[in-house]
Each structure stands twice: as C-alpha cells, then as structure tokens.
Amino acid sequence: MRWEDAARRQKGAGRVGRREREVVGRGVRLGEAAQGVVAEYGRAVEAVREALRPLHDALVERELGAIPVARLQDVTEGRLRLGGVERSGFGTVGRVLAAGPYRLRQIPGVGQRTVDQILAAAHRLAEAVHETVAVRIDVDRPEPGTTALVMALHVLVEAGPDARRAVDRAAALAERLGPLLADARPAGGRLRMALAGREKRARALAAVAEVRALVEEAEQAGLAELFAQTSVDLLRPSADLAAWADFELRSAEYYGLLAEVSGRLPDAAAAEGFLPEEVAERVRNQRLDDSRRRVSLRGYQAFGARFVLAQRKVILGDEMGLGKTVQAIAVLAHLAAEGRDHFMVVCPASVLVNWTREIEARSALPVRVLHGPDRHEAFADWQAQGGVGVTTFDALRGFPAPDGGTVSLLVVDEAHSVKNPQAKRSQAVALWAGRCERALLMTGTPMENRVAEFRNLVGMLDPRLADSLGEGDALAGSVAFRTAVAPVYLRRNQEDVLTELPSLQHTDEWEELSASDEEAYREAVRAGNFMAMRRAAYLRPEKSAKLERLREIVQEAAANGQKTVVFSHFKDVLTVVEQALAATGGTPLSGPLTGSVPAGRRQRIVDDFAAATGPAVLLAQIQAAGVGLNLQAASVVVLCEPQIKPTLEHQAVARAHRMGQVRPVRVHRLLATGGVDERLVRMLERKSRLFDAYARRSAVAEATPDAVDVSDTELARRIVEEEQERLGLEKEPVTDSGGSSGGSGRA
C-alpha cells in the first residue's frame, strides 16, 4: 500500500511539474533579462566613473600643486613652523604630499611629530580639494581623456530617461522574482518535486502562482521587449565626433548626468532653497510620478516639482535658466498620471508658442491653445475634453472661472506681470488661483527686496501669510526672508545648484507676429526680398512681437545682475533694438559693434562692456563679433534671427561660452512662427542631419563639407518661392538673397 501511495504522489508531482515547469522557465528568463539590463546600466555608469577618475585626479593634483604650503597654517590654526619645509623646496601642498614622511623627516629641524602634523594637515586639505573641484569639459580643446568621458556619457544620454525607468523597473522586478524563484525551484523538475517534503511542495506551488502573476503582468506591460531595447541602447557603440556634437547641443544633460554618476551634487540646503527643515522634509517625502514625462530632471528640479505638489499653491522664483518650465511640466505630468485631466497655463503672448512646444516635447499631455479669434470655441473644447490649456493674461479675463477643484493646476508664467492688484489681469489670475486645486506662480525676477509686490503675489495664494509679511522680513536678510515665506516660496540661484559651471543652455523663443509684423512680412514676400523677410519682425518697432520679447529678456537679465549681448545679422535691426532699449532706460548700452568699426575700437567697446558694474547690454553684428573677441562678461545671449549658416551662431555663442565665463550662458534665439524663420530652421536642421549622416562617415566629405551643403542663394530662392505660394502672392524675382546683409542691413 505504501508503494502505491508513493507512486501516486510521484505521478501527481509529475503532472504538476509539467504544468509549472514552463512558468518557472519563463520566470527565470524574465529574471535573467532584468538582471542583464541592470548589469548593462551598471557597466555604462562604471565606464563614466573610470573615464572621470583620471581627469579628476589630475585636477586635484594641479590644485594641490598651486596651494602654498603656508596654507597648512590655516588648517592647524598656526601651530606649525614651516620655514624649513619651504626652504627645502617643498613650497606647495602637492609637493609635501609627494615627498612623504621619509623625505620630510630629512629636513633639518623637522621632527617626527611635526612631520605627522604636516601630513595630517595636508591630507585634510587634499580631501577638501577632492570634494570641491569639478571637471569641466572644454569643447574647444578636446583631449583623449575628455573625449573618453564624453563618449561614456553619450551612451547614457542617448539611452535617455526611458532607459533609467527600464532599469528601475528591472531592478524592482529582479528583487521580487529572486526569492520567488528560489522557493519555486522544486517545481522546475519532476524528480525535485517528487522528493521535496510537503511543506516545500506547498511553498513551491505558492511561489509558482506568484511567479505566474508577475510574468503575466510583465508580458502585458511589454517589459521583456523594453529590457531588450534598453540593453541594445546601452551596448550601442559611441563615436567620438557624434558624442562631441551631441555634447555641444545638450551639455546640460551631460553635466547633470555627470553630477549624478559622480555623486558631486550641489549643496543640499542650496538645492532646497534653504527651506526650514520641516518644510523640506515634507517635500522630500512627496512622491513624483514620471511615467508621462519625457525628460529627466536634475535633483533640484525634482525637488522643485515636489515642492509644488506638497505645498499646493506656491511661487517658484528660480533664477533665469534653471528650468522653471520643466519643473512645471513635471508637476503637470505627475497630476495627469494620477488621473487629473484639466490644467491651465497663463503666460505672456510672447511665450505662448514656447509653452505649447515645450509641453508637447517634454510630456505626453495633450495641449490646447486658447488664444486668437477662436479662443472661446477652443475653451469649450478644453472644458469638454481636458488637457493643458495655454492662454494669455488678456484672454484669461474673457473665460469663466472654473468651479472649485475642476482645474487641478493653474500655472502662471512671468507672474511679476500680475503684481498690481488693481489691474484687471491680476484680478483674473487671483480669481482663478482661488478656484483651482493648485496654483504655481513662476518668476525669475528676484523678489526679496520688493516686499510690497511680493506680498500681492502671496495674497493670491495665502492671504493670511501675505498679511503677516512686513518690510522687516526682507531687511533681516534673504535666508530669514525665505524662512518667513517658506510655505509658498522657493528660489534657487545658478551658482548654488549648477555644479558644472559654466553650462550652455539654448532656448528657441517662438513668437507670433503682430498684425503690423505680418503686414511688413507680406510686403517683403511680395517683393521677393529675402533679407527684408528675415528682418520684417523689426521693421515696425512700435508693434514688434520679437522686440517686446527681447525687452523682457534684457529686463529679467538686468534684474538678476547679468550682462547681455544681442546679435543680429543686420545693422538696421541693431539700430531698432538700440532705440527700444534706450527708451526703456536703466541698463547701460555698448555698441553697436559692426563690421565698419575698426578692430582696435571693437576691443575697446568690449572692454568697456566687461568693465561696466552690474548689468549691461552689448549690441553686435554677428559677422563682426562672432569671431576673434572674448565676450565672457555676458551670461545672456540673444540672437535676433536665425542665421543662414549654423556656424555663425555657434561662433557667436562661443564668444561668451568659453574659458573665463563664471556663470552659465543662456542663449535665446528669437523666431517667428509660420514664416521664413520656421522654414529656415527646418531646412538648417535637415542640412545638419544630412551632414551628420554623410560627412562624418567620409574623410573626403569631411574635408569638403560643401559637397552636401545647400548654397545660400538656392536656399533663399526656395524659401521665398514657398512663402509666396503659401501666402497666395504673385511671384516676383528673388532679390537681396546672396549678400552678407542686403539693403540697409549691409555690413
């Protein structure tokens, strides 16, 4: 009888094994794929660290070699006598460390105790240097070491945020599968199952059931395919030219990743805006969902997004160039992932197009423009279908305020524009802020010394806190002021959170032409005048959309104490800009620096600009100032129009973004929608892709890049003809299409 029972158990175990072996096998394969992608990512990260280590060590050695040995007195509070050490040739901390205890002990009058004290102090100083120095990547002087680092970073940057998300999911899955597969192991073989005891069999069957659920969940989510694609992305070889080209375009992403991998993150208190601990702790504990976001965040940006979510109604006052828009999009994406479906962005008309493009590029959220003659119909569609509505301050006044809670987030850009509570636009924003579940006011203009204006903004969010604010809060200092307003206000400065200074950040400022601009543009198109088309947005300055945005950029830069250089291809555009900025007043103007200015005079203009105390503006013709001059005094660059040759823009920007620059450089390229700028940018992007695909793969083509270039004349003719057709105008012969400027814009 016992033999029959054993046979039945073995037969039953065999049947169970046949059903379950497949599940265990699928679980094993999924676990191996998950572990594989985690390992590949780890190897990619380690490759960055290996490339960084010698660069960092060399930088530390160079710094220590420049520190006088007398600095050791600071570390020991003046207890050391170092005269004999210096006279023996060990004049720097680097030389002392290289000498070691034996050679130092040979110095007359230096005993063992003194040697121990000297070396202990030197090591403390070396540790401080090791923690503070940061590797900067110089695109103008690529070396084997920096090339290796850029190539290693390129692999991770190209893999993108999707790879990081895939790795996180793989790590979590592997952690769950590991113990389950260990418990399910007896079910993977007929004999093992038959020989296992009752308790192990029960545990194995329970584990198999959980493995099956995990595998089915992973299959529905397409994780196996995601892991495979991520592994391919991480294993894809990086070419040095492609890596350097990409670094120039996306240096902020490279530096952000480098800071993360190296652990060289900004000071935590600065990154958190010096918030009180109780507020900072609440923000740190706030979850941030990135499933509907298409861009990675830096640590301080993730903290900013969490601040908005945790505090609900706030002012984000980060200095210009720190990515307030990206932080707002991160909040929108998080709320959308939670099931919220109605959001509103209010901004000046000059940045409306920018907002729609940024949301589309950096998130998976639907965007609706609520502006123009059809704005009320668009508003009704937005109410019915949801998404992110983007509108202007004036248009908002014409829309009915929402019922409480129906709009999950109101974002107000350039919020200092609504600081006057008597203005109708301010009253409209205040009404919406009171009716929305959350509100985010954004301004890059420092508010610490403008308490009356700041109080008005706070009043839209927290009237009780606004009533409690007094002038004395600002007089007590910025840290005290931020403590007082911590529940609603977060501001970080570039120098505190961008550890890789200087960085280069590009922003395309897309503007909708005013009616006056459009009329001037049509006249230029009708005449077939390509150069007049390019500068039509400035021909009628009293109603110029580009000029208005340029004023805003210069004013915000001035409020932050920054210098600005404004480039244009055309002399007459610079004249218009000079007159407009002079009428605004307040910021010293230099130039215009044009081709007709003698070389010596050019340098004096640049020197005067650099020597100016506080904010200043330099006007420069891009052909004249794009090469040969150092403009690192400027940390804001404005390009009045896109250039026919991308190299002109790159050279001009490089005048400011170079060795000696102490602040990140922010580049604003002013572009008009729907016309020559849009066509020119699109053609140049296509031309760049063609060069990448062809010239970099051929030594001959690389030596003669014009082999794949479109001539300026041909490009101009094509754009003029396409615009004449688009606007339904009779075709006229193309003029002013081949020179450096043409018309009144000639250099």
pLDDT of the residue at 40:
94
Is residue 106 in some structural domain?
yes
CA–CA gap between residue 185 and residue 400 (Å, rounded) = 64
How far from each other are the two terminal CA atoms of the chain, in whole angstroms? 108
> Do 137 and 234 sit in the same domain of this protein?
yes
- Give me the pLDDT at residue 633, please: 79
Query: What CATH number is associated with residue 278?
Result: 3.40.50.10810
The verdict on residue 288 lying in a domain is: yes
Q: Based on the fold, state whether residues 204 and 287 are members of the same structural domain.
A: no
Cα separation, 437 vs 429, in Å, equals 14
556 in any annotated domain: yes
Residues 485 and 542 in one domain: no
User: Which residue among 659, 674, 689 closes a domain?
Assistant: 674
**Three-class SS state of 499:** coil
Sequence-ordered list of residues with C-beta below 8 angstroms from that of 631, at least 6 positions apart, any chain: 565, 606, 609, 618, 620, 625, 655, 656
* Confidence at residue 630, expressed as pLDDT on a 0 to 100 scale: 66
Residue 593 forms part of a structural domain = yes
| Residue 743, in any domain of the structure | no
At residue 18, the pLDDT reads 65
User: Whats the size of the chain, residue-wise?
Assistant: 747
Q: What is the rounded CA–CA span in Å between residue 34 and residue 683?
A: 42
Does any domain span residue 146? yes
Q: Find, among 508, 540, 558, the residue nearest to 677 by Cα.
A: 508
The whole-angstrom separation of Cα 233 and Cα 325 is: 28
Look at residue 740 in the predicted model and tell me its pLDDT: 40
Do 571 and 443 lie in one domain? The reply is no
- The number of folded domains in the chain is 3
CA–CA gap between residue 344 and residue 386 (Å, rounded) = 10
Residues 489 and 512 in one domain: no
511 and 485 assigned to the same domain: no
User: Last residue of some domain: 674, 696, 725?
Assistant: 674
Check whether residue 73 and residue 133 sit in a common domain. yes
How large is the angle between the packed helices 2-66 and 144-184, nearest 10 degrees?
Answer: 160
Tokens of 710: 């479109």
Residues sharing a CB contact under 8 Å with residue 394, sequence separation 6 or more, in sequence order? 349, 425
Residue 738 inside a domain? The answer is: no
Amino acid at 354: N
What's the pLDDT at 626?
54
CB contact at 8 A, 737 and 530: yes
One domain for residues 434 and 334 = yes
DSSP string covering 547-566, please? Answer: HHHHHHHHHHHHHTT--EEE
Do residues 248 and 276 share a domain? Answer: no
Claim to verify: residue 583 and residue 563 sit in the same structural domain: yes
Domain CATH code at residue 582: 3.40.50.300
Same domain, 512 and 554: yes
Phi, psi of 392 (to 5 degrees): -105, 165
* pLDDT at residue 686, as a whole number: 62
Residues 274 and 406 in one domain: yes
Name the strand (E) or helix (H) holding 665: strand 665-672
* pLDDT score recorded for residue 739: 39
Output the CA–CA distances (angstroms, integers) from residue 665 to 218, 258, 543, 562, 742, in the order listed. 44, 19, 29, 10, 31
Spatial distance between the Cα atoms of 550 and 38, rounded to a whole number of angstroms: 47
Say which residues have a Cβ less than 8 Å from residue 122's Cβ, sequence separation at least 6. Answer: 72, 93, 96, 97
Q: Which of 656, 674, 692 is the last residue of a domain?
A: 674
Those residues of the chain that have pLDDT short of 70 are: 1-18, 75-79, 140, 188-197, 445-450, 470-482, 499-502, 599-600, 625-630, 647, 657-662, 684, 686-712, 732-747
Confidence at residue 694, expressed as pLDDT on a 0 to 100 scale: 30
Q: Residues 588, 634: contact at Cβ < 8 Å?
A: no
**DSSP letter string, 22-51:** HHHHHHHHHHHHHHHHHHHHHHHHHHHHHH
Q: What pLDDT does 368 receive?
A: 95
* Enclosing domain of residue 430: 265-496
Is residue 115 in some structural domain?
A: yes
